[in-house]
C-alpha cells in the first residue's frame, strides 16, 4: 500500500543551488540511521556523490520539463543534474511502470544531520539484471514531477 508523504515521520527537503531541481525524501528513519553510499564510478567521484535511500520511504523529485537527464553506462538511469547550476540532485530508475530513486546527500538541506560515514561501493561487476534486483531492494519508490521551466532573473 502506498503511503502519502505526510504520513512519514521525517521529511528531508533539498534542491540544487539555483532551485530548479527540488527533492523531498520522506522516511520513518532518523537521519543518523542512514549510511550514505559513495559509488566509486567516475560520475559519482567527480560529483562527490553520496546516495541515500529508504526502500520503505518515498522520494518526490520536481524538475523542469525541458531538463534532459544525463545517462551513461547501461543507459537505464536518469541522473538529474541541474542544467543551470550543475548540481547533481538525484538518480531515477524506471521499471515495469514503477519509479525508484536515490538522493545525493549534499543536495539535502539537512545533510549535516546524516552523521554516518559514507560506505564506498563498487557496482562495476553488475549486469542489468543484478543492478535492477539491487535497486528494487535498496532504492526508494519515487514520484517525478516535470513542470514548466521557470523564468530566471
Tell me, what CATH number does 82's domain have? 2.170.150.70
Q: Which residue has the cell 550514505?
A: 36
User: Where residue 148 falls among pLDDT bands split at 50, 70, 90?
Assistant: confident
- pLDDT, tens only, 83-122: 999 999 999 999 999 999 999 999 999 999 999 999 999 8
Q: What is the CA radius of gyration of the chain?
A: 15
152 lies in a domain?
no
| Structural domain total, the chain | 1
| pLDDT of amino acid 124 | 86
Task: Please check whether residue 153 lies inside any domain of the structure.
Answer: no
110 part of a folded domain: yes
Note the pTM of the prediction, 2 decimals.
0.93
Q: Of 41, 46, 33, 17, which Cα lies nearest the Cα of 25?
A: 33
pLDDT band at 153 (very low <50, low <70, confident <90, very high): low
Start-to-end CA distance of the chain, whole Å, equals 42
Domain that includes residue 50, residue range: 5-147
The more confidently predicted of residues 26 and 41 is 26
Amino acid at each position: 500500500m502506498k503511503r502519502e508523504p505526510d504520513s512519514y515521520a521525517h521529511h528531508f527537503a533539498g534542491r540544487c543551488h539555483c532551485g530548479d531541481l527540488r527533492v523531498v525524501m520522506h522516511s520513518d528513519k532518523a537521519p543518523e540511521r542512514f549510511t550514505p553510499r559513495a559509488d566509486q564510478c567516475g560520475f559519482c567521484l567527480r560529483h562527490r556523490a553520496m546516495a541515500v535511500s529508504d526502500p520503505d520511504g518515498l522520494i518526490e523529485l520536481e524538475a523542469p520539463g525541458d531538463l534532459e537527464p544525463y545517462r551513461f553506462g547501461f543507459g537505464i538511469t536518469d541522473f538529474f543534474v541541474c542544467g543551470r547550476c550543475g548540481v547533481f540532485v538525484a538518480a531515477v530508475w524506471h521499471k515495469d511502470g514503477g519509479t525508484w530513486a536515490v538522493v545525493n546527500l549534499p543536495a539535502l538541506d539537512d545533510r549535516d544531520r546524516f552523521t554516518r560515514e559514507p560506505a564506498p561501493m563498487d557496482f562495476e561487476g553488475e549486469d542489468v539484471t543484478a543492478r535492477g534486483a539491487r535497486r528494487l531492494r535498496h532504492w526508494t519508490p519515487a514520484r517525478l514531477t516535470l513542470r514548466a521551466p521557470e523564468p530566471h532573473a
